[in-house]
Structure 1
Amino acid sequence: MTIATPQKDAYTLVLEAIDTGIYKPGDRLVESDLAERFGVSRTPIREALQRLETQSLLTRDGRSLIVSSLDHNQLAELYVVRAELEGLAANLAARHATPEEVRVLRDMVTDDHKLIEDPSAMAKANRRFHKQIHLSSHNRFLVQQLDLVHRSMALMATTSLAAVGRPLDALAEHDAIVTAIENSDGAAAGEALRAHISKAFVTRLKLDSGEIETFG
């Protein structure tokens, strides 16, 4: 089935396919298959794969390219960096977000309650929420670094929001973050965001160990 999306380049299409779990860690990516799926020629697909390999999102296995995976140490390192950078973004958002941006964040928290039974939809909504905080920081260099971090997050085979009970907890944490931003309390917003990331990491570790169950 061909997906006609002329507005997006090949790199973005492949990256989004990894990010949304169409291609998971360990999956082999074949130029011809990708070209057919996305309705583009093989040359931009080849260039996209080379770029993703350079960014360590793809790994070479012989002559093939596969989606990279994160070991335990890499996962821990990624969450440390994410917590600090996202905490800074929330701190800055509390000081620099426009009233309209704050309103969008509040509406996201309200609307996302409709998605708590759908982990995939919640994961997409979660990415939008965090991206909005990044943008609301009004610091382009921080946004660039967070984009790099979130690309690496795509290498996780499952979302922590698949854990039973996690979506509702995550929304409560989002609410606390937005409340702090609404109150222009940078320190509280940063702390709330870092606590949110910490809890997500704990959930992921429990999922990986089989200690907690997923939906379905």
Structure 2
Amino acid sequence: MATTEKADNQPEPGTGPTERGRGENSRGSKVYRLLLERMRKGELKPGARMREDETAVELQVSRTPVREAFNRLQARGLVESTRGGWTVAEPSRAQVMELYALRAVLEGAAARFAAENATPVDLVTIDLALKAFIACPAEEQALAKANIRFHEAIYQAARNDYLLRMLEDLNDSLALLPSTTFTMPERAEGAVAEHRAMATAIAARDSDAAEAAARTHIHQARDARLRMIFCAS
């Protein structure tokens, strides 16, 4: 049986992932989640280069769980293997279009299911998230966070764990896109109206209108993203 490296057997207490094995509490899984969270927060941006040995030293684990984590991220298209290390993936324009096309379908389904399954508490949560977005300061990162909370309220109200996992995977890929569409001056005002239409349809239990409003919302976000891409070209 292969032996593990010393760092696997004698980790520094409390300094990094420490569990052994292949489950969700294994070192590899913990390293994977740490790297994924950094991508979500924008700490690891598209094009950023990473080395297994440097990451292992930083997290105080051996290279084995780091390699496992990078392989999992690669399988999801979030990183690419390059000479001497790994690089955070940079989606092409075609991939951006594919992401938004799928997002319109999934967000539409989430809104439809929310209209059908939301509890009274869910409806209150969605309404509070809407009001928080409306009252949010006109600052792009604050708007982006409030937008995520609004959508997450709808995801929870949908009551579909499989859909939730698919949306989480998709949103991890969207996190690789540079900046946020709220850098576009008109985007926040448009999103307010779009969010209100979604929340109103869900509260009215109108599943067709809820799905249509969600799809319109994502199409508008896609168009804003494309304007960002072409303006940067």
State the TM-score, normalized to the length of structure 1. 0.86
State the Cα distance separating 1:202 from its structure 2 match. 0.4
**Aligned-partner SS, 1:25:** coil
Q: What is residue 163 of structure 1 aligned with on the other side? A: 184
Is 2:217 the partner of 1:196? yes
Q: Which residue of 51, 58, 64 maps to 1:30?
A: 51
Question: Which consecutive residues of structure 2, in runs of 5 or more, have no partner in the other structure?
Answer: 1-14, 18-24
Aligned to 1:70: 91
Match of 1:101 in 2: 122
Distance 1:175 1:51 in 2: 38
In 2, distance between residues paired with 1:158 and 1:120?
9
Contact 1:57 1:67 in 2 (8 A): yes
Does structure 1 residue 172 correspond to structure 2 residue 188? no
Deviation at 1:36, TM superposition (A): 6.3
Rg (Cα) greater in structure? 2
**1:58-137 mapped onto 2 (5 Å cutoff):** 58-137=79-158
Identity of aligned residues (%): 34
Higher relative contact order (CA 8 A, sep 6+): 1
Q: Quick one: structure 1 residues 186 and 24, their matched pair in 2 at CA, closer, same or farther if it must change by over 3 Å? A: same
Corresponding residue to 1:149 among 138, 161, 170: 170
2:61 aligned to 37, 41, 49, which one?
41
Give 1:20's aligned residue.
41
How far off its partner does 1:115 sit? 2.8
Change in Cα spacing, 1:28 to 1:198, as seen in structure 2 (3 Å) is: same
Contact 2:16 2:60 in 1 (8 A): no
> CA separation in 1, counterparts of 2:106 and 2:30?
28
Stretches (4+) displaced over 6 A: 4-8
In structure 2, give the amino acid aligned to 1:52. Answer: L
1:116–1:168 contact (8 Å) kept in structure 2: no
1:42 deviates by 4.5
Distance 1:62 1:15, change over 3 A: same
CA RMSD of aligned residues (A): 2.3
TM-score, normalised relative to structure 2: 0.80
